[in-house]
Amino acid sequence: MTNDNFMPDVTLNVDGKKLTAPAGTLLIEACKSAGIEVPSFCYYPNLSLQGACRMCVVKVEKMPKLQTACTTVVAEGMVVATDSDEVRQARKAMVELLLGNHPLDCPVCDAGGECELQDMTFSYGAAESKFMEAKNHKEEQQWSPVVYFDRPRCILCYRCVRVCGEAMDVWALGVQNRGVGSVIAPNQDDHLECEECGMCIDICPVGALTSGAYRYKTRPWEMNHIGARRQPRQEWHQ
CATH ID of 99-227, from 3.30.70.20, 2.40.50.140, 3.30.365.10, 1.10.10.10: 3.30.70.20
Question: Of 124, 117, 22, 109, nearest to 73 (Cα)?
Answer: 22
Residue 235: pLDDT band (50, 70, 90) is very low
> What tens digit of pLDDT does each residue of 39-88 get?
999 999 999 999 999 999 999 999 999 999 999 999 999 999 999 999 99
Torsion from C-alpha of 222, 43, 21, 80, nearest 10 degrees:
-100
What is the pLDDT, as a whole number, of residue 152? 92
Contact between 224 and 235 (Cβ < 8 Å): yes
Question: Of 144, 236, 149, nearest to 197 (Cα)?
Answer: 144
Strand 209-211 and strand 141-142: the pairing is: unpaired
> What tens digit of pLDDT does each residue of 164-221 get?
999 999 999 999 998 888 999 999 988 999 988 999 999 999 999 999 988 888 887 8
> What tens digit of pLDDT does each residue of 111-139 get?
988 899 999 999 988 677 777 788 888 88
- The CATH number assigned to the domain with range 9-92 reads 3.10.20.740
Q: How far apart are CA 125 and CA 50, in angstroms?
A: 25
Q: Is the pLDDT of residue 233 over 50?
A: no
* The model's pTM: 0.84
Element (H, E) at 117: helix 116-124
Q: How far apart are CA 234 and CA 213, in angstroms?
A: 13
Within this chain, domains 9-92 and 99-227 share the same CATH topology:
no
Question: Of 210, 165, 224, 109, nearest to 117 (Cα)?
Answer: 109
Question: Of 99, 137, 105, 136, nearest to 120 (Cα)?
Answer: 99
φ, ψ of residue 79 to 5 degrees: the values are -120, 120
| DSSP-based three-state secondary structure for 59 | strand
Each domain of the chain, given as residue ranges in start order, spans 9-92, 99-227
Q: How far apart are CA 193 and CA 191, in angstroms?
A: 7
